[in-house]
Structure 1
Amino acid sequence: MSSVSLFLHNRFSQKKEIFTPLNPKEVTMYVCGPTVYGPIHMGNARSIIVFDVLFRLLRYLFPRVVYVRNITDVDDKINVQAKNLGISITELTHTTIAEFHQDIQALHVLPVSVEPRATHHIPHMIAIIETLLEQGVAYWAEDHVLFDVSKDPHYGTLSGANIEEILAGSRVELAPYKRNPQDFVLWKPAVEEQEFWPSPWGNGRPGWHTECCAMSKEYLGSRFDIHGGGSDLLFPHHENESAQTRSAFNIEQSVKYWIHNGMLMVEGQKMSKSLGNVLLLKDVLKQVSGSVVRWACLSSHYRHPLDWGSALLHQATQCVESVLRVLALPWDGTPHMDEDFLAYLCDDLNTPGALTALHAAAKRALQDPQWVPIVHTCAGLIGIEATFSFMTMELRNKIESIITERNRARAEKDFQRADTLRHEVEALGIVLEDTPQGTYWHQRI
């Protein structure tokens, strides 16, 4: 256990606090995982990478860490996708979970301590709903069980949302069976062709917010240290989850530190299906290595938005390449930590600062062998690993020469020659990206 202090920004208090776990011998963390109806996108990937770095850091600082990341395998989106593909829900979720693991493995994400699936914990969810009904904070109406938000005086304290904002929110479901429009579903009745389970209120399935409430309780207890996820989950998911745990477990707060990462933008625009700019992780991994994706995702502070684009990938590729040159050098396995690097990470996961320190250490290591173990240690803590070989200066110069010649051909409108040169450089395992700022290139995996 390290003596270095860790500071994290707590969304509940809205300030940076020193991290003190409930049990000094064991840190407990729950992070919302994927809803498995299709491949994850880069926004999902950023969150997974951020909390993987936090997991690595906590393991470095504390003797034991229990990290739970759930899988939501019951959801309306899953039902719709399975129907569209003409396959069973089980087949869809089984395939998608396998693809998810394959994708994040390419990002060098460490295995979590526990990865519970929602469908394996239906009895736990039913038990919580029964408790909420007994306490009078939930009600049964038209085969739905709903949480009565008016019975929770602390509702909105996590997200900062007030009742007026909630009523105006587009994500609030309006339904005649609700006492109040902001009440949320704990259990919903079965619908034809959808997966369902028996319950005291008839066949149906649980509400999304109840799933995480039950799984976190099962593996971490009614109180645990960290709850993480993307900022898009703050409301309504985490607000509703928090409301349930307060009432079901009769505690003021179940989570000591709420941590949320910012959203991922694409060339300055919000990533959305309507704009047609959704980036799937599996497609990005066809272009660059997992280490480059990690570096790019960590180049902005986790609480801030990240603008994804060609320039970002180009810069990340060059930085990773310099680190990989050092990782190719021999090392006896004895860790040596750079104090500046560690200080950045312990300051609310300041990964931009940590990456700058790692890059500087890599430059020094090429001149001074004493820095080689430092680079190995820091790269391991942040998850940068060698997945492709670095190139020789001769090959780099050849690539740059071809690109210069191709740019000249394009300027002279000799597009046939330009295409020939593109194919020539691609044959070397290089991907070209033409942007208004110029032509960028990087190695293909």
Structure 2
Amino acid sequence: MSLHLFDTATRTERAFEPLEPGKVGIYLCGPTVQGSPHVGHLRSAVAFDVLQRWLERTGHHVTMVRNVTDIDDKTLAKAADAGVPWWQWALTFEREFQAAYSAVGVRPPAAEPRATGNIPEIISLVAALVDGGHAYSHEGSVYFDVRSFADYGTLTRQALEDLTPAPDAPADDKRDPRDFALWKAAKPGEPADAAWDSPWGRGRPGWHIECSAMARRFLGSEFDIHGGGLDLRFPHHENEQAQSRAAGDAFARLWMHSAWVTQSGAKMSKSLGNGLLVTEVLSRYPAPALRLALAQVHYRSMLEYSDQTMEDAAATWGRLAGFVARGSERVGTLTADAVAAAELPAPFVEAMDDDLSVPRALAHVHETVRAGNAALAAGDDEALSSALLSVRAMLDALGLDPASEQWAGVDSGAGAAMTALDSLVQADIQARAAARAAKDWATADAIRNRLAQAGIVIEDAADGARWSLAAEG
């Protein structure tokens, strides 16, 4: 099976065929750096990092472009309230986002352009839209004329008459309330250095035009994949596609969107007051556990975040890291080159090629870990070596190899405790399996009961036993 990806524009899963064989261009909508990153901000970054790693693992050269929106109304307002220059405010949080991405193993993109670093390209694109009859100016601002583009609304399959007015300017400034701003005239009271000269007067770019201009500059007029969070489909991505295609660009060939992180069913966001800062989470849990928590649910499925989510992820990480550590002590540490060149198991490949089905891929990782633990207990070094190589190769493809340079030296905190606990529990699981094989049911039950009293639940399956921490309450 070749790689199939779900295209949110057509709502179909289709075979992925890059514009140029062996090369893939991806534009990922990055952060608006008005405040500190929370867990929800990392979901799309991790999802598309997994996509990039899988494409590269399967022989593609990937150019990942992830932008930074470093100027907007909220950034200016928050900087003013804090009494600092807007550019200082934006750079402070841009660095926090970069640190958060790095902490969970998201690799730096090939380009990370800022909106303010692409003003000439933005102005050029706005001018082309005005000249082409798709935009008009009003008192120093420029708006996209949605009625001038027949395909407006096709990305999200909405009829124009059903769309709500664009909130980026008073309705009486526009020909149609749904028209959206491409260029915003400077306002009284705003910093003088937050505006640039343009054919329409001093001002700054609207949000949507930034991405169209930067995608064109770094990836060309047509590229393979445009990605972002599900909440960006409308109006941001709808508007991006409209203005780019109106300007004559083919733009994105395929659209991918990651679902939200939720708390109690509500989208995690600062506006709802339920955002968990990345720094806070990482003070309590190991960074690879956070990456695992974000990646282990299919990228198109909502991820419900809670303390239990992280405790389960930390426990799982501990079991994975524990197996790799014990296996490596027994048969030797594998080189990074050996892990990168290892052939991946067919079930893992099939899962990843099926729209990045990480949950199914991880299920095969866990099966292989159980087989490896059994080989370790039986003293079968050949089987253990094979399992260890497979586990590390699969986890490497997900950015989760415990012995990788990213994670090998990490003080795992709770993960270290889980590694030690896993070692003890696995010994009891093997002893229980031996007792069951000898039909010594009393001993087997006694082991299970002892573990249960310690808060450890044993689940028997056809391919062996697995353990987990009992839920509180």
Alignment match of 2:179 (pick from 144, 165, 183): 183
For the pair 1:118 / 2:121, whether they are aligned, the reply is no
Q: Matched residues in 2 for 1:383 and 1:347: separation?
A: 18
CA contact (8 A) 1:291 1:385 kept: no
Residue 239 (structure 1) shift: 0.4
- Label 1:304 to 1:393 Cα distance change in 2 as closer, same or farther (>3 A): closer
For the pair 1:278 / 2:275, whether they are aligned, the reply is yes
Residue 166 (structure 1) shift: 1.1
- Label 1:49 to 1:230 Cα distance change in 2 as closer, same or farther (>3 A): same
Q: Provide, for residues 5-25 of structure 1, a one-character-per-residue CA deviation record: whole Å limited to 9, x for no partner.
A: 100000111100000001003
Q: Provide, for residues 281-307 of structure 1, a one-character-per-residue CA deviation record: whole Å limited to 9, x for no partner.
A: 221111112211121112221112111
Aligned length: 401
Paired amino acid for 2:224 = D
Q: Provide, for residues 8-61 of structure 1, a one-character-per-residue CA deviation record: whole Å limited to 9, x for no partner.
A: 000111100000001003111100001111111222111110000001011112
Q: Provide, for residues 296-324 of structure 1, a one-character-per-residue CA deviation record: whole Å limited to 9, x for no partner.
A: 11222111211111222222122111111
- Label 1:173 to 1:161 Cα distance change in 2 as closer, same or farther (>3 A): farther
For the pair 1:373 / 2:401, whether they are aligned, the reply is no
Alignment match of 1:62 (pick from 59, 80, 94): 59
Alignment match of 1:303 (pick from 300, 305, 329): 300
Residue 404 (structure 1) shift: 7.7
Correspondence list, 1:4-19, <5 A: 5-19=2-16
- Label 1:272 to 1:113 Cα distance change in 2 as closer, same or farther (>3 A): closer
Residue 85 of structure 2 corresponds to which residue in structure 1? 88
Residue 234 of structure 2 corresponds to which residue in structure 1? 235
Secondary structure, aligned partner of 1:127: helix
Residue 29 of structure 2 corresponds to which residue in structure 1? 32
Q: Matched residues in 2 for 1:172 and 1:144: separation?
A: 11
For the pair 1:138 / 2:138, whether they are aligned, the reply is no
CA contact (8 A) 1:336 1:373 kept: no
Counting aligned pairs with the same residue, the percent is 37
Q: Provide, for residues 189-209 of structure 1, a one-character-per-residue CA deviation record: whole Å limited to 9, x for no partner.
A: 112233111111111000110
Residue 174 (structure 1) shift: 4.2
Residue 360 of structure 1 corresponds to which residue in structure 2? 367
CA contact (8 A) 2:142 2:181 kept: yes
CA contact (8 A) 2:261 2:267 kept: yes
Paired amino acid for 2:365 = L
Paired amino acid for 2:36 = P
Paired amino acid for 2:128 = T
Q: Matched residues in 1 for 2:422 and 2:217: separation?
A: 57
Correspondence list, 1:16-415, <5 A: 16-167=13-164, 174-191=170-187, 192-194=189-191, 195-248=194-247, 250-251=248-249, 253-273=250-270, 275-328=272-325, 329=328, 330-333=333-336, 334=338, 335-366=342-373, 367=375, 368-369=383-384, 370-386=386-402, 387=410, 388=412, 389=416, 391-393=419-421
Secondary structure, aligned partner of 2:182: strand
Q: Matched residues in 1 for 2:141 and 2:166: separation?
A: 21
**Structure 2: runs of 5 or more not aligned:** 376-382, 403-409, 426-449, 456-469
- Label 1:275 to 1:110 Cα distance change in 2 as closer, same or farther (>3 A): closer
Q: Provide, for residues 339-397 of structure 1, a one-character-per-residue CA deviation record: whole Å limited to 9, x for no partner.
A: 21121111001111111111222222232321101111111110114332464249978
Residue 64 (structure 1) shift: 1.1
Q: Matched residues in 2 for 1:11 and 1:26: separation?
A: 22
Paired amino acid for 1:99 = E
Residue 165 (structure 1) shift: 2.5
Q: Provide, for residues 129-163 of structure 1, a one-character-per-residue CA deviation record: whole Å limited to 9, x for no partner.
A: 11011111100112110000000000000011222
Residue 271 (structure 1) shift: 2.4
Q: Matched residues in 2 for 1:215 and 1:141: separation?
A: 25
- Label 1:356 to 1:127 Cα distance change in 2 as closer, same or farther (>3 A): same
Paired amino acid for 1:232 = D
CA contact (8 A) 2:44 2:258 kept: yes
Q: Matched residues in 1 for 2:162 and 2:356: separation?
A: 31
Query: Is 142-151 or 326-335 further displaced after alignment?
Result: 326-335
Aligned residues: CA RMSD: 2.4
CA contact (8 A) 1:322 1:363 kept: no
Paired amino acid for 1:348 = D
CA contact (8 A) 1:172 1:181 kept: no
- Label 1:105 to 1:385 Cα distance change in 2 as closer, same or farther (>3 A): farther
- Label 1:12 to 1:275 Cα distance change in 2 as closer, same or farther (>3 A): closer
Query: Is 271-280 or 72-81 further displaced after alignment?
Result: 271-280
Q: TM-score, length-normalised on structure 1?
A: 0.85
Residue 431 of structure 1 corresponds to which residue in structure 2? none
CA contact (8 A) 2:27 2:227 kept: yes
Secondary structure, aligned partner of 1:176: helix
Paired amino acid for 2:367 = A
- Label 1:11 to 1:173 Cα distance change in 2 as closer, same or farther (>3 A): farther
Secondary structure, aligned partner of 1:121: helix
Q: Matched residues in 1 for 2:54 and 2:135: separation?
A: 40
Query: Is 275-284 or 230-239 further displaced after alignment?
Result: 275-284
Q: Matched residues in 2 for 1:55 and 1:178: separation?
A: 41
Query: Is 350-359 or 363-372 further displaced after alignment?
Result: 363-372
- Label 1:158 to 1:175 Cα distance change in 2 as closer, same or farther (>3 A): same
CA contact (8 A) 1:188 1:207 kept: yes
Q: Provide, for residues 93-122 of structure 1, a one-character-per-residue CA deviation record: whole Å limited to 9, x for no partner.
A: 222122111111110111211111111100
Residue 424 of structure 1 corresponds to which residue in structure 2? none
- Label 1:165 to 1:54 Cα distance change in 2 as closer, same or farther (>3 A): same
Paired amino acid for 2:209 = T
- Label 1:274 to 1:187 Cα distance change in 2 as closer, same or farther (>3 A): closer
Q: Matched residues in 2 for 1:26 and 1:53: separation?
A: 16
Q: Provide, for residues 222-246 of structure 1, a one-character-per-residue CA deviation record: whole Å limited to 9, x for no partner.
A: 0000000001000000000001111
Rg comparison, structure with higher value: 2
Paired amino acid for 1:438 = E
